Amino acid sequence: MTDMQTRQSASVARCSSAQERKWLSGIPWETLLRRFAILVPCIGLFAACRTTGPAGAPSRAQLRPTVFPGVVPEPVSITLASGDAFVLTDSTSIVVDPGNAEVLRTAQLLASLLRPSTGFAVPISSIGTSVRGAIVLRLSTDTALGPEGYRLAVWRDSVRVTANAPAGLFHGVQTLRQLLPPQIESHMALSAVAWRVSPVTIMDRPRYSWRGAMLDVARHFFTVREVKQYVDLLALYKMNVLHLHLADDQGWRIEIKSRPKLTAAGSVTQVGGGPGGYYTQDEYAEIVRYAQERYVTIVPEIDMPGHTNAALIGYPEISCSVRPPAPYTGTEVGFSTFCANKEETYALVDDVVREIAALTPGRYFHMGGDENPILSKEDYARFVERTQDIVARHGKQMVGWEEIARARLRPTTIAQAWATDSVAAAAVQYGAKVILSPAKRTYLDMKYNQTTELGLTWAAVIEVRDAYDWDPATYMKGVTESNIVGVEAPIWSETVRNITAVQYLAMPRLPALAEVAWAPQSARNWDAFSRRLATHAPRWNFLGVNYYRSPQIPW
Ligand code: IFG
């Protein structure tokens, strides 16, 4: 057997102390056997835990398993090995192929993580120079990994991340980040930290290609800086879609040059009466750029035909709402709609889709489609189908909330399940795919429990385990794994008005859903996840991320 033990032959070291047994207790054997090769030979473990104090039980710190990484999402394959750790020092460099601008960008992002906390220079040098003591990021054809997967090998004298594509290298770097001590996230240099990574090899790739979060910037407006902070969280957990809910009854949040009254009249307030706001097209482009560098695709949503009160303040001639459009600061839904039988309506839709599509490199445009009790079934279907044609004409694939499945869909269209476990299934008949956002599991604007100050309860109260313990492939009748493009966690902002409040509701349920979307179902285990997640709290503290200390997690 090589010194790299394969996970199949894992066996727990016999000399583990009560501390070790405590840490390992509760994690089912099959998880340990499948997920971690804990083949630290007794003598090795005893040596690693060698006591410096009086003979007898080693200290808690010495025994704390430094080789059991708290990687979230759980990788497909992770093999721990004995041997010396890789240690970041002032001679550590990052080695890349300078010819690939994307890979160089990822190297720069890694360097900007490592430099502040370690105080090391961490130079970036070209492939071909010595790799001793280096972190090597390299593209290599490896079809087993797909477009987002990676391999990560940590040895005493080097770290190597390889992938088919730059996105995979970026994801491998996030795993390396999580294998480093949480102090690595510090924005100020810390001394007396062992910047060590235990020897490990990982092969990893995502289960779903759509691993998303949605931020409602319409009920309450969030600044560009706050949106970037949310993108940072998604990137840490390998999520790759940020769906921005840019318009609703309470606010229109993006400049449309050919329709200036959308922002002039529609952006001036928000829930509760605050000042509202909107993104200029340059600001929206900056959000897109920032997200793209972190392999997060921005999916813009203009909710139509319902949830359109803010748009109709400026353009009341296409209103078929049940009340005259006016600035609205409440939280009711279902009282506004575009008319479906006026050509002026589709002229406005075309202007909006054209301008936003031109600013959006991602393939998708989300047209909303939810909660419209006003239009007849026929008129609603007509609106969805004409909008679907407009979106296609501007080069995008349409996404819509599950109700759009009541219209005839293109096979490229995606229905987003949220309220029921059946409506979106109708999309499958057209060959359309489904995103799973079941409100009872993924709506992060739901309270954790009845005492949570922020959030709503109409769908459920959702503790961390509720967000984690489900299988998308078996969740909906008539929707199987092959129909599913992915999972998305919306956070609606009726009750949250700044990013700190968003983080409180999002963390730690967002990493739970990131694991639902990334890890193989066979690798999912609540006990193991909860222990891995607990090790992330110090990381969030260094990052200044607000979070809910759920009693379900062994912090
Ligand atoms: N449902 C509405 C949202 C928001 C939400 C709050 C969808 C698709 C309730 N529509 O979810 O606008 O009000 O939890």
Map out the domains of the chain as residue ranges.
Answer: 86-204, 210-543
DSSP secondary structure, 461-513, as one string? ---HHHHHS--HHHHSTT--GGGEEEEEEEE--SS--SHHHHHHHHTTHHHHH
Going from the Cα of 57 to the center of ligand 1, the distance in angstroms, rounded, reads: 55
* Least confident piece of the model among 245-249, 266-270, 423-427, 467-471: 423-427
Going from the Cα of 210 to the center of ligand 1, the distance in angstroms, rounded, reads: 20
**If residue 251 lies in a helix (H) or strand (E), which one and from where to where?**
strand 251-252
Determine which residue's CA is closest to atom 11 belonging to ligand 1: 418
Determine which residue's CA is closest to atom 3 belonging to ligand 1: 492
Quick one: tokens of 386? 């004409």
Judged against a pLDDT cut of 70, whether residue 74 lies above it is answered with: yes
Residue 69 binned pLDDT confidence (cut-offs 50, 70, 90)? confident
Determine which residue's CA is closest to atom 6 belonging to ligand 1: 492
Cis, bond preceding 54 (omega within 30 deg of 0): no
What's the CATH number for 86-204? 3.30.379.10
**How much is the mean pLDDT over the chain?**
90
Going from the Cα of 501 to the center of ligand 1, the distance in angstroms, rounded, reads: 18
How confident is the model over 451-480, as a mean pLDDT? 97
Going from the Cα of 488 to the center of ligand 1, the distance in angstroms, rounded, reads: 14
All residues at 6 or more sequence positions from 429 whose CB lies less than 8 Å from its CB, including other chains:
none
> What would the pLDDT profile of 78-93 be if each residue is shown by its tens digit?
999 889 999 999 999 9
Known active-site residue 515: no
Helix (H, G, I), strand (E, B) or coil at 391: helix
Residue 106 binned pLDDT confidence (cut-offs 50, 70, 90)? very high
pLDDT at residue 261, rounded to an integer: 98
Q: Which atom of ligand 1 is nearest to the CA of 248?
A: 12
Helix (H, G, I), strand (E, B) or coil at 409: coil
Q: Which atom of ligand 1 is nearest to the CA of 371?
A: 10
Distance CA 77, CA 30 (A): 14
pLDDT at residue 81, rounded to an integer: 86
Long-range contacts, stretch 411-417, CB < 8 angstroms, 24+ apart? 413/388, 414/210, 414/364, 414/485, 416/366, 416/488, 417/476, 417/479
Q: Which atom of ligand 1 is nearest to the CA of 307?
A: 12
All residues at 6 or more sequence positions from 42 whose CB lies less than 8 Å from its CB, including other chains:
13, 14, 15
pLDDT at residue 56, rounded to an integer: 53
Q: Which atom of ligand 1 is nearest to the CA of 331?
A: 13
Place of tokens 């307030």: 269
Judged against a pLDDT cut of 60, whether residue 63 lies above it is answered with: no
Judged against a pLDDT cut of 50, whether residue 391 lies above it is answered with: yes
Cis, bond preceding 305 (omega within 30 deg of 0): yes
Question: Which of 370, 447, 458 should be mutated for ligand 1, with most atoms under 8 A from CB?
Answer: 370
Going from the Cα of 205 to the center of ligand 1, the distance in angstroms, rounded, reads: 32
Contact yes or no for 299/362 (Cβ under 8 A): yes
Judged against a pLDDT cut of 90, whether residue 28 lies above it is answered with: no
Strand partners, 248: 251
- CA proximity to 492, closest of 506, 513, 508, 472: 506
Q: Which amino acid is at 355?
A: E
What's phi and psi for 432, nearest 5 deg? -75, 155
Judged against a pLDDT cut of 70, whether residue 13 lies above it is answered with: no
Going from the Cα of 320 to the center of ligand 1, the distance in angstroms, rounded, reads: 21
What b-and-e string marks burial along 489-506, b requiring 16 or more CB atoms within 10 Å of the CB? bbbbbbbbbebebbbbbb
Judged against a pLDDT cut of 90, whether residue 112 lies above it is answered with: yes
Distance CA 69, CA 196 (A): 12
Distance CA 132, CA 158 (A): 6
Distance of CA 432 to the CA centre of its chain: 23
Determine which residue's CA is closest to atom 10 belonging to ligand 1: 370
pLDDT at residue 414, rounded to an integer: 98
pLDDT at residue 82, rounded to an integer: 85
How confident is the model over 284-306, as a mean pLDDT? 98
Side-chain half-sphere exposure of 518, counting CA atoms within 13 A: 32
> What would the pLDDT profile of 235-288 be if each residue is shown by its tens digit?
999 999 999 999 999 999 999 999 999 999 999 999 999 999 999 999 999 999
Question: What single DSSP character describes residue 548?
Answer: -
Question: Which of 243, 302, 332, 333 should be mutated for ligand 1, with most atoms under 8 A from CB?
Answer: 333
pLDDT at residue 47, rounded to an integer: 34
Judged against a pLDDT cut of 80, whether residue 64 lies above it is answered with: no
Strand partners, 400: 415
Which residues have C-beta atoms less than 6 Å from ligand 1?
A: 333, 370-371, 401, 418, 443, 445, 456, 492
Going from the Cα of 416 to the center of ligand 1, the distance in angstroms, rounded, reads: 12
Q: Which atom of ligand 1 is nearest to the CA of 368?
A: 8
Judged against a pLDDT cut of 60, whether residue 33 lies above it is answered with: no
Determine which residue's CA is closest to atom 7 belonging to ligand 1: 370
Work out the percent of the chain whose per-residue pLDDT is above 70: 88
Environment class of 436 (CB within 10 Å of its CB; exposed 0-12, middle 13-18, buried 19+): buried
Q: Which atom of ligand 1 is nearest to the CA of 401?
A: 8
Residue 68 binned pLDDT confidence (cut-offs 50, 70, 90)? low
pLDDT at residue 9, rounded to an integer: 28
Calculate helix-pair angle for 509-518, 224-236, nearest 10 degrees.
50
How confident is the model over 130-142, as a mean pLDDT? 91
Question: Which of 456, 492, 495, 502 should be mutated for ligand 1, with most atoms under 8 A from CB?
Answer: 492
Catalytic member of 283, 371, 453, 494: 371
Going from the Cα of 333 to the center of ligand 1, the distance in angstroms, rounded, reads: 8
pLDDT at residue 32, rounded to an integer: 52
What's the CATH number for 210-543? 3.20.20.80
Strand partners, 300: 244
Question: Which of 248, 328, 371 should be mutated for ligand 1, with most atoms under 8 A from CB?
Answer: 371
